[in-house]
Amino acid sequence: MLDQLEAQAPDALLALIKMHAEDPRQDKIDLGVGVYRTNDGATPVFRSIKAAEQRLVDTQDSKSYLGPEGDTGFVDALKPYIFGKDATMGGRVEGMQTPGGTGAVRLAVALAKSAGVKRIHLGVPSWPNHAQILQDVGVETSTFHHAKADGTADIDAVLDAIANAAETDSILLHGCCHNPTGVDYSAEDWARIADALVAKGMLPILDIAYHGLGNGLDEDVAGIRTVLAKVPEALVAYSCDKNFGLYRDRVGAFYMIAKDASDLPAITSNANALARANWSMPPDHGGAAVRTVLRDEGLTKQWLDELGEMRARMRRVRERLAAADNEVPGLNLAALGEQNGLFAILPLSREQITKLREDHGIYMAGSGRINVAGLHEGNTPKFIAALADVTAG
Ligand code: PMP
């Protein structure tokens, strides 16, 4: 049977990582991989996480199984950061731990399907795995444009998608720091989206993978809080892999917001059954480390400082790029200053992206997506000069 399988296309980003690793040029720049980097190009373990991990090593006395819901202390400790002051939303929210944000998205889509959702609307471009998950779970995907050419969100497109949707459709929205465009909805946009969702009676799936990497922890979820304050039901997928630097430990959470608290036991029992059939239970270590940080005032402060440093660094990179708008006409670098998070899309042709790689040692995804955290004071001038070179004429 197995010899009948057809080879799948290799992951383009992995091929790019390999090419970058093999490039001997000292001043090469990697803007491909989607992880945060410091000024020195490193992706270090957070000091707060290191300290929490040490405590876990010293004190953890069992690694016996938890249930499919994982570490509920971890899941509850995150709630106030996501949902705000009334972190339980009047008892209408229940959560569980998942293997990364990916596991949470997967569970959200699978649970929506169990609840009768047949089609999910997705703004494009999006994180490529969104479409793959929808396909793999077996729901239909309907796409709309996420961003306009001027580098702002296409609010009309999302409102049209909602207005023309069936009541049994769902919509998957990025909470903040949109991947790959960096283009987020404004506060006013979110209010209109919330009203449109209520008018349609549509179940939103909100994906938050970069919380705190945009404008601040509260600021980054203000939009989804606007939605959650209005809609009766919602599903939230959350990743701690960027904002706690835990990538390979696979730390995520999935929250279900019910119309009525009395609906939650049935809803969560379905989510538990789906988790059980998928991964049985999530890996523990990273979630336990996050719980340890968030239950300790000193470690929480340290984490907030570390996250604040990351955010400030990315804002500085974005400001530098925006300030070079005149040096590279036609790319609208100015818009990058208004956008959020790790990513931005530059409207470059395939040829220009190849020329950047071959002539300048600058590596980025074929879509023109750059990871702004790959840039710093030292290499930004080279990057801007290279952009001016490949776009000249
Ligand atoms: N959603 C989006 C939009 C993402 O960009 C990512 C990760 N790149 C995820 C979810 C999943 O994150 P994780 O690594 O925690 O699975």
CATH class of 65-295: alpha beta
The pLDDT of residue 300 is above 80? yes
- 154 in ligand 1 pocket by Cβ < 6 Å? no
pLDDT in tens, 364-379: 999 999 999 999 999 9
Cis, bond preceding 125 (omega within 30 deg of 0):
yes
Active site residue ranges? 127, 207, 209, 242
Q: How confident is the model at residue 385 (pLDDT cuts 50, 70, 90)?
A: very high
The domain ranges of the chain are 11-44+311-391, 65-295
pTM of the model: 0.97
As a whole number of angstroms, the distance between CA 62 and CA 6 comes to 44
What's the pLDDT score for residue 10? Answer: 82
The verdict on the CB of residue 102 being under 6 Å from ligand 1 is yes
Alpha carbon of 134 to ligand 1 centroid (Å): 14
**Could you tell me the CA-to-CA distances from 95 to 69, 82, 100 in Å, in that order?**
8, 12, 14
Q: Is 127 in the pocket of ligand 1 (CB under 6 A)?
A: yes
Q: How far apart are CA 306 and CA 260, in angstroms?
A: 38
The model's pLDDT over 239-274, given as tens digits with 9 standing for 90+, comes to 999 999 999 999 999 999 999 999 999 999 999 999
**In this predicted model, what pLDDT tens digit does every residue of 97-144 receive, in sequence order?**
999 999 999 999 999 999 999 999 999 999 999 999 999 999 999 999
Question: What integer best gives the mean pLDDT of the chain?
Answer: 96
**pLDDT band at residue 334 under the 50/70/90 scheme:** very high
Would you state the pLDDT for residue 13?
A: 86
pLDDT of 55-71, one tens digit each?
999 999 999 999 999 99
The CATH T-level fold of domain 11-44+311-391 is Aspartate Aminotransferase, domain 1 (3.90.1150)
- Residue 159 pLDDT > 80, yes or no? yes
Among the residue ranges 5-19, 148-162, 197-211, 246-260, the one predicted with the least confidence is: 5-19
Quick one: which atom of ligand 1 is closest to the CA of 174? 3
What is the pLDDT at residue 6?
A: 96
Residue 12 scores a pLDDT above 90: no
